[in-house]
Amino acid sequence: MQVKTPDWVKHAVFYQIYPDRFARSARIQHARGLEFKAWGTDPAEQGYQGGDLYGIVDKLDYLKRLGINALYLNPIFSSASNHRYHTYDYLEVDPLLGGNAALRELIDQAHHRGIKVVLDGVFNHASRGFWAFHHILENGTDSPYLDWFLIKDWPLRAYHSDEQNPSNYEAWWNLPALPKFNIKNPGVRDYLLEVARFWLEFGIDGWRLDVPEEIDDEAFWQAFRREVKAINPDAYICGEIWGHAADWLKGDRFDATMNYTFAWSAMSFVGAATLRRDYIKEHMPLTPLSVHEYKQVVERMLGWYSTEVNHAQLNLLDSHDTARALWIMGEDKSALALCALLQMTLPGAPCIYYGDEVGMSGADDPFCREAYPWHEPGLQDQELLSTYQELIQLRHDHPVLRTGEVRFIDCDNPELLLFMREKGKQKALIVVNRTKSLQSLNLPASEFQNYIQEWPATHQSGAIGNQRRLAIPPQQGAVLLLEH
């Protein structure tokens, strides 16, 4: 089967937003009597800090200036949790976020600025409050929706369960708040496909799919793709699969996955000197990597899939499910900037987790889910923000950095990472010095003398005989381009 992924994704820079914690708008009219936690409250307190979709609309110009042209939103449908992975109504945007009207305005305003909007689809499980499960809780074995879930015995232990008395129905991670759908039930399949169609017809540009491997039903995902692409052939389908996913990316299910291999390898290489050894995360084998080891990981990763898929992979560093990249790398902002350089110059669509660009940090959930510090400008690192803006603009300015072929280059300095991107007559040389000392290298002048250093703007090269000599300052990189 020929694999074809949406072209716009190959040119996208995504920004992931956790809606409750990104921005609160003064325009939203909540019902009287509601109380939110103060903006910036310790995320360990859970609860709701009042971020909403109108708040995202209010910040679209900021995101546009940053260079963002695609949003990935964590779940926004009605739910009784601030992360909203406990969905109780898939056809209504949570009123605390502004309801369907707020999503309408967000899509319209984002599209007006050339920004795509991708939603999070949680179709493996619902919540106790989901209408069909609630019907079972009220009616027991008399409910006609009984087969929509996977119930083992009665009475249901929907609120009180422990190791000795676990939930007596299938639930995600055995959490009674998250009953698992019976995907084999035709009514469930019809309902979930209706949800997918409804929001695509509403105007979204794609789906990020939560824990899709838990739905072990190839035919369901094939049907999902057919429904999605029938409405919008350019809609993006990205699955949350943390490792090798070749079976899912053959052209009959997903366009791409969340590329956690990119994430852990980039941090393990760039942040080798400061990597936190006490952070253990399944599917993220964080360990210091040499230049040679990093090349091996990336070449293996790119070898898993076709070029079409590699250029559409969602290349993240961190997310709501991990500690912040800055925290993982021991608060080393120079290392974070180098990771951003890799995001903007290696194949795949970069995805920035909200606030990384201004130096937000934090350990694993819930600490990676704090409020964006709009309320404390002093916590926003403007120098880091400028670096992100420059790197994103560099990617936008040069197609070779988005869809060029990639190959690694050996050089006379084993401490430096070099790779090329090539697209027709356009060529880009990327050099990364992750060490804390000045590093230099010699390149054949016959091949590289006409390359112009585009980033950073300060020129760090000179000629020695028939060699072009580059000097790369500590924990910095360089991008040189040749465009005919």
pLDDT of residue 392: 98
Name every residue whose Cβ is closer than 8 Å to that of residue 263 and which is 6 or more positions away in sequence. Answer: 284, 315, 316, 317, 318, 322, 325
CATH 2.60.40.1180 corresponds to the domain 403-482: yes
3-state secondary structure 178-206: CEEECCCCHHHHHHHHHHHHHHHHHCCCE
Q: Is the peptide bond before 456 cis (omega within 30 degrees of 0)?
A: yes
Task: For residue 445, give both structure tokens.
Answer: 């002048």
The tens place of each residue's pLDDT in the chain, 484 residues long, gives: 789 999 999 999 999 999 999 999 999 989 999 999 999 999 999 999 999 999 999 999 999 999 999 999 999 999 999 999 999 999 999 999 999 999 999 999 999 999 999 999 999 999 999 999 999 999 999 999 999 999 999 999 999 777 777 889 999 998 999 999 999 999 999 999 999 999 999 999 999 999 999 999 999 999 999 999 999 999 999 999 999 999 999 999 999 999 999 999 999 999 999 999 899 999 999 999 999 999 999 999 999 999 999 999 999 999 999 999 999 999 999 999 999 999 999 999 999 999 999 999 999 999 999 999 999 999 999 999 999 999 999 999 999 999 999 999 999 899 999 999 999 999 999 999 999 999 999 999 989 999 999 999 765 566 666 889 999 999 999 999 998 7
| Domain segments of the chain as ranges | 7-124+181-397, 403-482
pLDDT of residue 167: 86
pLDDT of residue 461: 62
pLDDT of residue 165: 77
State residue 73 phi and psi, 5-degree precision: -100, 130
pLDDT of residue 459: 54
Q: Give catalytic residues, as residue numbers.
A: 210, 240
CATH class of the domain comprising 7-124+181-397: alpha beta
Is pTM beyond 0.95? Reply is: yes
pLDDT of residue 483: 80
Name every residue whose Cβ is closer than 8 Å to that of residue 173 and which is 6 or more positions away in sequence. Answer: none
For 75, the 3-state DSSP assignment is coil
Burial of 283 (0-12, 13-18, 19+ CB in 10 A): exposed
